[in-house]
Amino acid sequence: MRSITITTENKQSHVLIGERLQNLRSYLPDGKVIIITDDNILRYYAADMPPFPIISIGTGEKHKTLETLVHIFEKLIEHEADRTTYIVGIGGGIVCDVAGFAASVYMRGLRFGFVSSTLLSQVDASVGGKNGVNFRRFKNMLGVFNQPEFVICDPFMLKTLEKNEFIAGFAEIVKAGAIKSAPLFEYLEANVDKALSAHEEVLEKIVYESVRIKADVVENDEKEKGLRRILNFGHTFAHAFENMSDLLHGEAVSMGMVLASRLSCKMGYLSKTDSDRIENLLSRLQLPVKPVVELRKAFEPMKQDKKREGNAVFMVFLKQIGEAVIEKITYKNLEEVLNDLC
Ligand SMILES: NC(=O)c1ccc[n+]([C@@H]2O[C@H](COP(=O)([O-])OP(=O)(O)OC[C@H]3O[C@@H](n4cnc5c(N)ncnc54)[C@H](O)[C@@H]3O)[C@@H](O)[C@H]2O)c1
Ligand SMILES: [Zn+2]
């Protein structure tokens, strides 16, 4: 097992890569604990969970809502949760985002930790302390920054993931390499087959490196005042695509990164060779690289992006593989470039 500690203003968060769900109990304090999970996880892993009350939520992005939070709060009251209760979220990005939010606001905040059960949540979603839900058609519109005390990344749980869910996780790994680590990107290029077949050593290395990159960014800018924005590489487009389709988050991010790379190229920041390398790697990882949504239609919701500032939006561009820059681009310019790219 390898561990990474993320130290922010008022908290330490321990990410434990290679730890097992079966050892969860040793990370929990004495006293009342309540587990928040989803119906799929329960189907596979109920027997491996420690014997605490369980609140289960439905699966899929449509359940990442205020209604689900209300359901959780009602159950917490039923279970007589108080200030001393400890919350554990066991699941993917959705469970962790919702459980972290519920724990952060119930009675002004309970202690909480996660067992992260998808590749995407191990490398990205459950690390870094962003918790929240969608509101209306806006992704992650309501939420808080609050670090979990621990995140167990159990590699064995990834074996029961649907293939498309497993593959979607690679999008955020490619992102980590593209924005901050040429060596991780090159390692992936050299190990595509092993990564896809969930080779233990390869998987542990890429999960570890991705978490290390995210930890480094989050420690320097927990509340996303500047640097942390680089983690949104490809995401302005991705959120627009997600809004208009049933794409998985990772699939939308893959398409978004291809567009953002081409845009970086067009703006003169990135070489065509590097832009092609990104598209090739995503494609070899069996991720979609062509937008399934008409770009013009995707453009309108992009104006609602949380990163907007007046008539412009902050976007993450690449200068080379391993180096990102954040620049403002006006909607007018963006629209023109997108028209060119279509
Ligand atoms: N907070 C952040 O910083 C952050 C970062 C990236 C993504 N996210 C969010 O994460 C969410 C996506 O997370 P995700 O990709 O993990 O999706 P998810 O949580 O929906 O999980 C994917 C599916 O796999 C099932 N599942 C989970 N673990 C399993 C396992 N071990 N075996 C079998 N099935 C399993 C789930 O029930 C679900 O159906 C999005 O809402 C996205 O916005 C958040
Ligand atoms: Zn993402």
Per-residue pLDDT tens over the stretch 28-78:
999 999 999 999 999 999 999 999 999 999 999 899 999 999 999 999 999
Ligand nearest to the CA of 174: 2
Q: Under a CB-based contact definition with an 8 Å cutoff, are residues 299 and 329 in contact?
A: no
Residue range 81-89: average pLDDT?
Answer: 98
- Residues 117 and 174 placed together within one structural domain of the fold: no
- Residues 85 and 135 placed together within one structural domain of the fold: yes
CATH code for the domain of 169: 1.20.1090.10
The chain-wide mean pLDDT, for the chain, equals 93
Ligand 1 within 6 A of CB of 228: no
Whole domain around residue 176: which residue ranges? 163-341
pLDDT of residue 305: 62
298, two tokens? 């995707």
pLDDT of residue 270: 97
- Residues 178 and 242 placed together within one structural domain of the fold: yes
Q: Best mutation site among 59, 64, 94 for ligand 1, i.e. most ligand atoms within 8 A of its Cβ? A: 94
Ligand 1 within 6 A of CB of 334: no
- Residues 198 and 74 placed together within one structural domain of the fold: no
- Residues 135 and 179 placed together within one structural domain of the fold: no
Ligand 1 within 6 A of CB of 153: no
Ligand 1 within 6 A of CB of 271: no
Ligand nearest to the CA of 242: 1
24, two tokens? 């969860």
Measured in angstroms, how far is the CA atom of residue 118 from the centroid of ligand 1?
6
- Residues 71 and 10 placed together within one structural domain of the fold: yes
pLDDT of residue 291: 81
What number does the ligand 1 atom closest to the CA of 131 have? Answer: 1
Quickly count: other Cβ atoms within 10 Å of residue 225's Cβ: 9
CATH code for the domain of 60: 3.40.50.1970
Cα 143 to chain centroid, rounded:
14
- Residues 180 and 154 placed together within one structural domain of the fold: no
- Residues 141 and 16 placed together within one structural domain of the fold: yes
Query: Is 152 or 295 the better-scoring residue by pLDDT?
Result: 152
Q: Under a CB-based contact definition with an 8 Å cutoff, are residues 214 and 275 in contact?
A: no
* Interval 108-154: pLDDT, tens: 999 999 999 999 999 998 899 999 999 998 889 999 999 999 999 99
Cα 193 to chain centroid, rounded:
23
* Interval 232-251: pLDDT, tens: 999 989 988 888 889 999 99
Nearest residue (CA) to ligand 1, atom 11: 93
Task: Give me the DSSP letters along 52-69.
Answer: S-EEEE--SGGGSSHHHH
Share of the chain above pLDDT 70, in %: 97
- Where residue 107 falls among pLDDT bands split at 50, 70, 90? very high
Measured in angstroms, how far is the CA atom of residue 81 from the centroid of ligand 2?
32
pTM here is 0.94
Ligand nearest to the CA of 247: 1
Rounded to whole angstroms, how far apart are CA atoms 5 and 106? 26
pLDDT of residue 307: 61
Nearest residue (CA) to ligand 1, atom 4: 125
Q: Under a CB-based contact definition with an 8 Å cutoff, are residues 184 and 209 in contact?
A: yes
- Residues 204 and 147 placed together within one structural domain of the fold: no
Ligand 1 within 6 A of CB of 154: no
Tell which residue, 192, 190, 112, 189, has the closest CA to residue 144.
Answer: 112
pLDDT at 295 over 80: no
- Where residue 331 falls among pLDDT bands split at 50, 70, 90? confident
* Number of independent structural domains in the chain: 2
160, 182, 201 - which closes a domain? 160
- Residues 138 and 183 placed together within one structural domain of the fold: no
160, 195, 212 - which closes a domain? 160
Phi, psi of 18 (to 5 degrees): 100, 0
- Residues 148 and 20 placed together within one structural domain of the fold: yes
Picking from 189-193, 217-221, 309-313, which range would have the lowest pLDDT averaged per residue?
309-313
Measured in angstroms, how far is the CA atom of residue 47 from the centroid of ligand 2?
30
300, two tokens? 């309108």
- Residues 113 and 259 placed together within one structural domain of the fold: no
Measured in angstroms, how far is the CA atom of residue 147 from the centroid of ligand 2?
17
Measured in angstroms, how far is the CA atom of residue 173 from the centroid of ligand 2?
10
Q: Under a CB-based contact definition with an 8 Å cutoff, are residues 94 and 141 in contact?
A: no
Ligand 1 within 6 A of CB of 161: yes
Nearest residue (CA) to ligand 1, atom 10: 93
115, 137, 160 - which closes a domain? 160
51, two tokens? 């014997």
Measured in angstroms, how far is the CA atom of residue 116 from the centroid of ligand 1?
9
Measured in angstroms, how far is the CA atom of residue 250 from the centroid of ligand 2?
7
